[in-house]
Every structure is written in structure tokens, then in C-alpha cells.
Amino acid sequence: GVVIHGNPGFFSVGLDLPELYAYDAAGFDAFWRDFMGLIRDMLLFDKPLVASITGHAPAGGCILAIGCDYRVMAEGNYKIGLNEIPVGLVVPAPIYDIYASWIGPRLAYQYLMEGKLYLPEHAREIGLVDEVVSGDAVLQTAEQKLQQYLRYNEQSWRLTKRQLKRALVHAMDSISESDMQVIQAQWWSPAIRQLLEQFAENLKKK
């Protein structure tokens, strides 16, 4: 199995917007297809996959976390969630499906449309993360969960995971070229480019 572990304070801040902003259309298209392919590979990975969320996990960081089978998050003033809407980005329907598979359709819809980020305890309450522990215990707790999975019959565990993930994998495979064009059109619209430029400049100053 695999534990995905971040640095103290940050599990993953998501997509590198200053980098992406500089891409041309072909580069952005290639990146986005690769990123969606990564999430599909995580869903298809039929060994245990556990997230050791060491801190903030907004947007793409949250997507990496929900691609795992189990999530352990550090307690503290950290945020996790999908906040693409305030940045002006389009969240593909399959990402919503994965999100909703953990927290339910109603909350997923509401929180996604509001671009909500939430603290670890609330994330645990709604099912987005499974455990909240002290920062120095995150990795150990994640490894303990991995060892629990590894004690089960390997073939039974793998086959069951494949069945449970089948609908989500199908949703990832259902993304059409027209869906990709919608994402591209939004990314290159003048209003969003201006918003992204401001966001990228603010990030560079930090």
C-alpha cells in the first residue's frame, strides 16, 4: 500500500496557479488531461491508499486526498475543501462525484458552489476526513490504518475496492471533448485571466 504524506503545515496547496497561468493553450490542455489521468489512476489503484494530511489541503490538495481510501488530518487552523469557484475555475463533474461519495450529494453541491474551505474537525464531522490527530501523530496514524488494511485478505480487499470505485472510474472515463472545451474556454476567458493574474501575483508576494 501507499501513504501520501505532506510537509508540516501543508499537505498540498493544489495546482500551481502562477505556473499554469504562463502555459499556452496546448500546455494547459496537456496538464489538465494529465491531472485528471492521475486522479483516475488513484481510483484504479487497488492497493490501500491513505492520505496523511499534514496541514492545508485546498482545491487540488483536497482532490488528491479524496482520491485516497482513508484520510488522517492534523488538528489545528488548517483548511481543506474545493474552493475553485472563487478563483473562477470549473470543477469537472467527476470530481464532484468523488467529493459527493464522501460527504453526500447535498453538502457536496452546497459547499462546492460556495467554494467552502473548512477546519479539520468540521471535515471529520461531514466525512471528508476520517480522523483528526495531533500533527506529530498524523503519519503514524496513517501507517497504522494502512497496516490494518494489509491484514485483510489481499484479493478480497482488491476486488471489493474495484467494485466500490467502478462508478467513479466510469465517471472519469465519461469526460467528453466538449467538457474539456468548456474548461478551456473558462480558463481563457478575459475575466478569468484577469482574476488568475491577480491571484498569481498575490501568491508570488507570499
Q: Which residues of 148-159 are buried (b: 16+ CB within 10 A; e: fewer)?
A: ebeeeeeeebee
- Is the model's pLDDT at 204 over the cut of 90? no
Residue 16: predicted pLDDT: 86
- Is the model's pLDDT at 43 over the cut of 80? yes
Strands 117-118 and 80-81: antiparallel
Residue 196: predicted pLDDT: 82
Residue 69: predicted pLDDT: 98
Among residues 192, 70, 58, 45, the alpha carbon closest in space to that of 130 is found at 70
- Is the model's pLDDT at 206 over the cut of 80? no
Distance of CA 39 to the CA centre of its chain: 8
End-to-end CA distance of the chain: 36
C-alpha span between 88 and 102 (Å, rounded):
24
Residue 139: predicted pLDDT: 98
CB distance 90 to 186 below 8 Å: yes
Average pLDDT of span 29-34: 91
* Region at 9 (left for phi over 0; alpha for psi -120 to 50; beta for the rest): left
Q: Could you count the other beta carbons within 10 Å of the beta carbon of residue 48?
A: 21
Residue 60: predicted pLDDT: 94
Residue 86: predicted pLDDT: 84
Helix axes 93-103, 105-114, angle to 10 degrees: 120
Mean pLDDT of the chain: 93
φ/ψ (deg, to 5) at 128: -75, -35
Residue 203: predicted pLDDT: 65
**How many angstroms separate the Cα of 83 from the Cα of each of 14, 160, 161?**
10, 32, 28
At 106-127, the pLDDT tens digits run 999 999 999 999 999 999 999 9
